[in-house]
Amino acid sequence: MKNNDEEIFYICSECNKSVGEEDEVCPHCGAELSEIISDGGDGPEDISYSCLECNRSVGKDSKYCPHCGATLKEIIINEANIIKKNLRENIVLANKNKRILNLVIDAILLQFIYFFLMDQYFSLQYEIILYKFSWGIIFILAYFFYYFVSEALTGRTIGKFITGTKVLCKDGTPLTIRKAFVRTLIRFVPFDPFTFWNSSSEPIGWHDSIPGTIVVSVKVSRAHDSGIQTGNEVFLNASRKRKIIFSKLLFIIILIALAYEIINLNKSGYFKELSFTEYDFNKRGLEKANLGDFQRAINEYNKAIEKEPDDAILYYNRGCAEAELGNYAKAKGDLTIALNIDTTISDAYFTRGYVESELGELTSAIEDYNKCLTLDPGNSDAYLFRGIIRYGIMDYKGAGADADRAIEFSPRDPRAYDLRGTLKVNKKEYKSALVDFDIAIDLEPNFARAYHNKGRVKYLMSDFNGACELWRIAAKLGYAEAQDDITEFCK
């Protein structure tokens, strides 16, 4: 012990920790303080707590009362129960208006978080069914983590911060992680949002009653915090402060992310699109298709179809874009839907006929070309494409008739002359065939297939040099079969 101007303090000889001058029992190890040694340290720990048995001061970390020897753990539990009882008696639940406002604010924020995830991490080029399924999963995950993380850490979502409310356990203590988890799961029950629409001004829904939680005003929660800190501070201040700091940081991060996403959505025209009709989206789809950007065109048609799912033209346009990308099965599906809605779209029959020919469904393709020509007898492309199929299945008479009709309705189409010339070669009408190939080349000087077919006629007429010359032109224009003929027949 020091008797000069220095502060007087003592140390337990058993555990070497500071004890009070009047302590008879060590508050740390429970040893009797018959021998007390001073070590000249920084002094005793602050004594700011009281024993409920003898009402004398005890240390913050004491396990036993140094005066009466009572076990402080039991005292703390008893005092905590008293505090909880006082809290339950004085707590006021958040009213219905605040609960509804919480729901609206959090729903709006979740929408922004959802679109932020879409914009940052995922492509919009999914198939329409997979597209909707994927975004549904993303929204469920965002919904779960938004409520669970924010309420487990702070007891408050952003909506509750704004309205001044907080989630607590039913006994008035801070919300536990387990209860926060159960509370969030119950939110997914379909009718949960309607369970607190009762006549009471202080409603409690399923996600309150099942996990055993309540929503109170922030003033009550502050009184709750200060009430717990009185009388031995059963709940430590440091943990609460860490949660508050973390919640504020989380709040700031979410606000920054929302601001960033709002800017991005505005730049992308999202807010402008909110007022768009199916015609606006269809127009944008057509513009992108004309530029050859068929995938983006499909995205626009998807939006248009969501607005108006019974518009046949929208399915027709999307089917055409899918066909351009070589997605023939999907294209046929869209074109079939279009024709189920409106059986008078001749171009839909024509395009589906083309798609079916690419899929090898030649009989169905001819039937669709027939329907197209019934609705539009002057469609030269329908005659041409039907003629090509008939030539492939060796219906040369029918193919010849189609070629003639195609030339009749479109006399400047080089493809029709090439088809008719090819049919004449099969009939060994070589000179007449050469005339048709010459017309085709005059109409389209870079028509590689016409050069190749004309070369075949020259070869059949024993003009080998003329044939090789024509095949070389076709090969330069990228016609692969011409190169094969050069390799085989030209020396």
Q: Order of strands across the sheet with 36-37?
A: 18-19, 10-12, 36-37
Identify the residue with better confidence: 258 or 413.
Answer: 413
In a domain, 417, yes or no: no
What was the pLDDT predicted at 39? 39
In a domain, 472, yes or no: no
Q: Are residues 201 and 315 in the same domain?
A: no
What average pLDDT does the segment 352-365 reach? Answer: 96
In a domain, 198, yes or no: yes
In a domain, 466, yes or no: no
- Which range of 43-57, 171-185, 278-292, 447-461 scores highest in mean pLDDT? It is 447-461
Q: Across the chain, what does the average pLDDT equal?
A: 77
What was the pLDDT predicted at 458? 95
Q: Are residues 65 and 140 in the same domain?
A: no
Q: Are residues 64 and 130 in the same domain?
A: no
What average pLDDT does the segment 477-486 reach? Answer: 93
**Could you give the angle at which helices 380-392 and 346-358 cross, rounded to 10 degrees?**
20
Q: Are residues 217 and 281 in the same domain?
A: no
In a domain, 323, yes or no: yes
Q: Are residues 117 and 260 in the same domain?
A: yes
Identify the residue with better confidence: 106 or 172.
Answer: 106
Alpha helix (H) residue ranges in 237-376: 237-267, 270-273, 278-290, 294-307, 312-324, 328-341, 346-358, 362-375
CA-to-CA distance for 382 and 365, rounded, in angstroms? 10
Q: Are residues 108 and 168 in the same domain?
A: yes
What average pLDDT does the segment 397-412 reach? Answer: 96
Pair of tokens at residue 250: 């989380």
The total number of structural domains that make up the chain: 3
Question: What's the pTM value of the predicted model, to 2 decimals?
Answer: 0.51
Q: Are residues 161 and 299 in the same domain?
A: no
Domain boundary among 201, 233, 267: 267
Range of the domain at 164: 96-267
Q: Is the pLDDT of residue 307 over 50?
A: yes
In a domain, 476, yes or no: no
In a domain, 461, yes or no: no
In a domain, 469, yes or no: no
Identify the residue with better confidence: 64 or 271.
Answer: 64
Identify the residue with better confidence: 290 or 246.
Answer: 290
Identify the residue with better confidence: 409 or 133.
Answer: 409
Name the amino acid, one letter, at 131: Y
Q: Are residues 370 and 263 in the same domain?
A: no
What was the pLDDT predicted at 94? 77
Q: Are residues 169 and 309 in the same domain?
A: no
What does 400-429 look like in DSSP terms, one character per residue?
Answer: HHHHHHHHHH-TT-HHHHHHHHHHHHHTT-
Q: Are residues 258 and 111 in the same domain?
A: yes
**Model confidence pLDDT, tens digit, residues 71-99:** 655 544 444 454 444 445 556 777 778 88
Q: Are residues 339 and 235 in the same domain?
A: no
Q: Are residues 135 and 252 in the same domain?
A: yes
